[in-house]
Amino acid sequence: MKPRYSVLDLAPVRQGGSIAETFHNSVDLARHAEQWGFTRYWLAEHHNMPGIASAATSVLIGHIAGNTESIRVGSGGIMLPNHAPLLIAEQFGTLETLYPGRIDLGLGRAPGSDGLTARALRRTLHQTGDDFPALVEELLSYFQPLSPDRHVQAVPGAGLSIPVWLLGSSTFSAQLAARLGLPFAFASHFAPELLHQAIRLYRAQFQPSARLATPYVIVGAPVIAAPTDAEAERLATSPKQRFLKLIRGEPIYAVPPVDSMDGLWSPAERDLVESKFAAAIIGGPATIAARLATFLAATEADELIFTSDAFRHQDRLRSFEIVAAAFAQLPAARPPYTEVPA
């Protein structure tokens, strides 16, 4: 079988647009992705970030799943230190009950916010991320079958086969995923520096589990595809401007592309932004196909998951359509893993 390909929707709010528009566009993109053969559609938890509308991640997952038919829908990810594991087990147990066989639960340990917002979410900063392994194991325990010996159980949730993924941008979650025998997704769409080291560690240290027999790696990558390389490079100035605003601490609304970034950033800012786009796949159809093949060969990823923050919705749609066409041209790879009951 060929490598899988999926969508990571950061629910971008357009400058001059609205959150309602963002949610409408997310549904439209998910429906198109389903038609184009994408495997899954994930949404990421962020808080107090004007320009990103996926704070209530579980609610939005339900909205997308309810407006599609077959594509898997899930979190990329839920920032577990922000939540009680029981609450997440109940939320995703509810989603899996409503949309059986279609829900993924990806978990991260970052707050998805700033320090003040993290305190507002948690009411305390006792959970700092250092207890992430214990939180993950507690959450996994709630998906075990109902038992009279357990005084606290997830209803719904107990006994459901919900695939659980660990997400990360460093080697920490890679090694934890390996120890627990879980699939692993690396966030090289914004932090590509440790990509190869993390996936090497994950594969080398992987311990088979009841959930997963062999390692499975998803790699995130930004993509901007257009009819020509020149147009794609121009459209890519929108996500680059957005990341520039992020490092400056400014609202990160999606902004129109520009002909040149010259004069918009300092040399140091340019170097930082460009470094964060090291895994980006940008170009016309032929360039996209070539770069996808090179990226897959370098990472040996089982699946790629793409973000695309083009300013106009139709440009986002076109990027994903071109990616789907490029994957159709790729040769077959080793068979992907089979998800097994929790």
Query: Tokens standing for 315?
Result: 């440009």
User: Token pair of 128, please?
Assistant: 């700092």
Nearest to 189 by CA among 163, 161, 218: 218
Q: Give the single-character DSSP code of 13.
A: P
Assess whether pLDDT exceeds 50 at residue 341: no
Percent of the residues in the chain that have a pLDDT greater than 70, as a whole number: 92
Residues 190-220: tens digit of each pLDDT = 889 999 999 999 999 999 999 999 999 999 9
Q: What is the pLDDT of residue 314?
A: 98
Say how far apart CA 240 and CA 226 lie, in whole Å: 16
Please provide residue 86's backbone torsions phi and psi, each rounded to the nearest 5 degrees.
-60, -40
Long-range contacts formed by 149-152: CB under 8 A, 24+ apart: 152/86
- Per the prediction, the chain carries an average pLDDT of 92
pLDDT of residue 115: 65
Question: In the prediction, which pLDDT does 113 show?
Answer: 54
C-alpha–C-alpha distance, residues 251 and 205, integer Å: 40
SS3 257: coil
Contact 16, 251 (CB under 8 A): no
Cα–Cα distance measured from residue 291 to residue 323, given in angstroms and rounded to the nearest whole number: 11
Q: Whole-angstrom Cα distance, residue 186 to residue 247? A: 21
Give pLDDT, residue 231: 98
Mean pLDDT of 20-35: 98
Length of the chain: 342
Asked if 39 and 104 touch (Cβ cutoff 8 Å), the reply is no
| Residue-wise pLDDT tens digits, 79-105 | 999 899 999 999 999 999 999 999 999
What's the average model confidence in pLDDT over 153-165?
95
Query: Which of 303, 144, 158, 288 has its CA nearest to residue 223?
Result: 288
User: Tens digits of per-residue pLDDT, 2-11?
Assistant: 789 999 999 9
Q: What is the pTM of this model?
A: 0.93
Question: For 111-143, how does the pLDDT look when each residue is reduced to its tens digit (9 = 90+)?
Answer: 645 667 666 766 555 655 678 999 999 999 999
Q: Which parts of the chain fold into alpha helices (H)?
A: 19-35, 57-66, 85-98, 115-122, 132-141, 171-180, 195-205, 229-235, 237-248, 267-276, 285-299, 313-329
